[in-house]
């Protein structure tokens, strides 16, 4: 997944569009002369856009999770190298991180 896939800069605009569409549907429902077919079409459009947004957000979450895992692993191994080179502070951090990181690795293996 490319980072362009998770461009969240327009997320507010997407949410605003959904809110506006929902408001149009609500106002049509209140109108005693509303066209049921038009209302149904708008409701289907709203469902479609919500689904698209949900898919987009799930992809974004996966990408953010992947980035966090990569950065966490890089940090862990960097601290491990420093600890192995004799850095006392790095040793403390490494010993603190190691149980959590090893548990994460075990759970990743079990999931696959």
Q: Work out the percent of the chain whose per-residue pLDDT is above 70.
A: 94
Query: pLDDT tens digit string along 52-63?
Result: 888 888 988 998
Name the pTM for this structure. 0.65
Burial annotation 74-106 (CB, 10 A radius, 16+ → b, else e): eebeebbebbeeeeeebbebbeebeeebeeeee
What residues does each domain of the chain span? 3-111
CA distances from 83 to 34, 55, 89, 102 (A): 71, 42, 8, 17
Give the mean pLDDT of 9-30. Answer: 84
- Which two structure tokens, joined as six digits, stand for 38? 């038009």
pLDDT at 42 over 60: yes
91 or 41, greater pLDDT: 91
Can you give the pLDDT at residue 5? Answer: 53
Q: What share of the chain is helix, strand, coil (3-state, %, to 5)?
A: 90, 0, 10
Round to whole Å and give the CA distance between 86 and 19.
Answer: 57
């Amino acid at each position: 997944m490319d980072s362009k896939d998770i461009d969240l800069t327009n997320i507010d605009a997407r949410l605003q569009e959904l809110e506006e569409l929902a408001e149009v549907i609500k106002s049509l429902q209140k109108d005693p002369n509303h066209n049921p077919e038009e209302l149904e079409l708008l409701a289907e459009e709203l469902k479609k856009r919500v689904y698209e947004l949900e898919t987009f957000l799930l992809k974004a979450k996966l990408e953010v999770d992947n980035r966090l895992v990569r950065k966490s692993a890089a940090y862990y191994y960097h601290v491990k190298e420093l600890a192995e080179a004799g850095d006392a502070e790095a040793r403390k951090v490494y010993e603190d991180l190691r149980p959590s990181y090893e548990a994460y690795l075990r759970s990743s293996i079990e999931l696959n």
